[in-house]
């Protein structure tokens, strides 16, 4: 890949040149971006938020493209944040260092000791921190694809070598392919469970076997959608010193706007991460909101039950119409269409925004759609049902 930066604006051909051909021109790089950063492929963060907010009737739109929670967080979140602000407690002070109160709440939620936990500014920050701490130029990283692409940016930023592996189907955990890609000098293995965007789960037994077979490899288990799948390997961090598990409050808990995540690992790995960890990176309101959300698990479980019931509604809907649909273990479904671009355009015309995943290997013609409550799902199908015939 070229390291040149290009100005993508079109430039008229000079007078006297043949035809009306236009050209791209290289831009100077006076700042001197690091070569590893210039060479990487940026994460494509395409959101419908601006398009929705520009509509006069934006409150009726369905934002189903980023797998966010489709309902507001527990009322206790707003109550806790409001109470904090009304007490006159200053936002002019830095947040509680290390999010110690939230760590204590997570001990009860995860069953993992406090010295195995680290709170981060969203789980993306946890993934970035892992790569920045434990990867160096030339390290080998095995990544089953398709998967969450932002992690690849963090890997590339360290100059590490990515080894991707893919199964016969995008919806297959492909454990055999992972094992074929692994070597004794593999530095890191990245697993997402449930996987985004295909929803398959890596069982704790599989994760434990990989940890055992490759003791010198760091195994990162991304459990951003754990609450929906209800299958976790987090307890394994007590047993395996090479395992790191990342999670987030952005999905099931509905706190995407507050950016709170965490990771679990052995105290030795946590100690390494603390070398560059910023203990004030999680804002005060995020810490308060996350603690309040953990204090209302009934609200969480009610929402999880709604999503599960909605997926059954969608399963029946697509089956009746003979549409290929993968009802995943997470809070999204993947649907394959004969003309995905036309389908996306028709959905947007009706105020429904989903994610085009057709460029991913094995997902040609596929779109990914977040699943909400049963009421939201029924209203959604009333609006777009005739498109899936």
**Ordered DSSP codes for 173-214:** --HHHHHHH--TTEEEEEEESS-TTT-----HHHHHHHHHH-
Q: Which residue in 131, 95, 104 sits closest to 246, CA to CA? A: 131
Q: Of 265, 296, 327, at which residue does a domain stop?
A: 296
**pLDDT for the residue 6:** 41
CA distance 146 to 249: 23
**pLDDT for the residue 309:** 98
If one counts every other C-beta atom within 10 angstroms of the C-beta of residue 96, the result is: 17
350: tokens are 């009706």
Do 211 and 231 reside in the same domain of the chain?
yes
Do 275 and 363 reside in the same domain of the chain?
no
Q: Which residue in 220, 73, 198 sits closest to 142, CA to CA? A: 220
The residues that bridge with 7 in the sheet, in sequence order, are 25
Do 64 and 86 reside in the same domain of the chain?
no
Do 68 and 95 reside in the same domain of the chain?
no
The residues that bridge with 326 in the sheet, in sequence order, are 334
DSSP readout, 208-245?
Answer: HHHHHH-TTSEEEEE-TTHHHH----GGGGGT-TTEEE
Q: How many CA atoms lie within 13 A of 266 on its CB side?
A: 13
- Tell me which residues of the chain have a pLDDT lower than 50: 1-24
What DSSP designation does 320 have? H
If one counts every other C-beta atom within 10 angstroms of the C-beta of residue 193, the result is: 27
Q: Give the SS3 label for residue 247.
A: strand
Which residue reads 């527990």 in tokens? Answer: 74
What DSSP designation does 17 have? S
Domain membership of residue 17 (yes or no) is: no
If one counts every other C-beta atom within 10 angstroms of the C-beta of residue 247, the result is: 28
190: tokens are 């990245």
- Residue 376: give its domain's CATH number: 3.90.1150.10
The count of domains in the chain is 2
If one counts every other C-beta atom within 10 angstroms of the C-beta of residue 29, the result is: 11
CA distance 165 to 143: 6
Domain membership of residue 205 (yes or no) is: yes
Domain membership of residue 19 (yes or no) is: no
The answer for residues whose C-beta is within 8 angstroms of residue 217's C-beta and 6 or more apart is 182, 186, 187, 188, 189, 242
**pLDDT for the residue 51:** 74
The residues that bridge with 327 in the sheet, in sequence order, are 333
- Residue 269: give its domain's CATH number: 3.40.640.10
**pLDDT for the residue 9:** 39
**pLDDT for the residue 12:** 40
Do 170 and 222 reside in the same domain of the chain?
yes
Q: Of 246, 263, 296, at which residue does a domain stop?
A: 296
Domain membership of residue 235 (yes or no) is: yes
Do 150 and 213 reside in the same domain of the chain?
yes
**pLDDT for the residue 53:** 67
Q: Give the SS3 label for residue 128.
A: helix
Do 147 and 284 reside in the same domain of the chain?
yes
Domain that residue 310 falls in: 49-72+298-387
The pairing of beta strand 352-353 with beta strand 355-356: unpaired
CA distance 125 to 222: 12
121: tokens are 């500014």
Q: How many CA atoms lie within 13 A of 14 on its CB side?
A: 2
- Asked if residue 224 lies in contact with residue 246, where contact means CB atoms within 8 angstroms, the answer is yes
Write out the E strands in 104-170. Answer: 117-120, 140-144, 161-165
Do 119 and 67 reside in the same domain of the chain?
no
If one counts every other C-beta atom within 10 angstroms of the C-beta of residue 260, the result is: 30
Do 196 and 339 reside in the same domain of the chain?
no
Do 178 and 327 reside in the same domain of the chain?
no
């Amino acid at each position: 890949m070229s390291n040149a930066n290009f100005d993508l604006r079109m430039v008229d051909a000079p007078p006297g040149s043949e035809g009306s051909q236009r050209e791209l021109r290289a831009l100077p790089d006076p700042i001197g971006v690091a070569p590893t950063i210039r060479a990487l492929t940026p994460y494509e963060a395409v959101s419908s938020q601006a398009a929705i907010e520009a509509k006069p009737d934006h409150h009726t739109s369905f934002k189903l493209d980023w797998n966010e929670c489709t309902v507001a967080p527990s009322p206790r979140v707003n109550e806790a944040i409001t109470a904090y602000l009304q007490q006159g407690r200053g936002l002019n002070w830095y947040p509680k260092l290390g999010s110690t109160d939230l760590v204590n709440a997570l001990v009860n939620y995860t069953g993992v000791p406090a010295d195995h936990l680290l709170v981060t500014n969203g789980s993306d920050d946890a993934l970035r921190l892992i790569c920045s701490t434990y990867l160096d130029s030339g390290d080998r990283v095995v990544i089953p694809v398709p998967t969450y692409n932002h992690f690849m940016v963090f890997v590339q930023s360290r100059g590490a070598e990515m080894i991707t592996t893919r199964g016969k189907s995008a919806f297959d955990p492909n454990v055999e392919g992972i094992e074929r890609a692994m070597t004794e000098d593999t530095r890191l293995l990245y697993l997402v469970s449930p996987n985004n965007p295909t929803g398959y789960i890596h069982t704790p037994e599989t994760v434990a076997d990989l940890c055992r077979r490759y003791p010198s490899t760091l195994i990162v288990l991304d459990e951003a959608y754990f609450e929906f799948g209800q299958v976790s390997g987090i307890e394994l961090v007590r047993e395996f010193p090479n395992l790191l598990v990342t999670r987030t409050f952005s999905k099931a808990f509905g706190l995407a706007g507050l950016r709170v995540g965490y990771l679990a690992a052995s105290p030795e790995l946590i100690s390494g991460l603390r070398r560059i960890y910023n203990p004030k990176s999680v804002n005060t309101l995020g810490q308060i909101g996350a603690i309040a959300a953990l204090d209302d698990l009934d609200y969480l479980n009610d929402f999880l039950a709604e999503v599960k019931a909605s997926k059954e509604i969608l399963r029946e809907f697509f089956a009746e119409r003979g549409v290929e649909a993968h009802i995943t273990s997470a809070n999204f479904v993947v649907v394959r269409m004969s003309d995905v671009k036309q389908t996306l355009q028709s959905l947007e015309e009706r105020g429904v925004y989903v994610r085009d995943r057709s460029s991913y290997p094995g997902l040609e013609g596929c779109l990914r759609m977040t699943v909400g409550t049963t009421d939201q799902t029924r209203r959604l199908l009333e609006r777009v049902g005739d498109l899936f015939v």
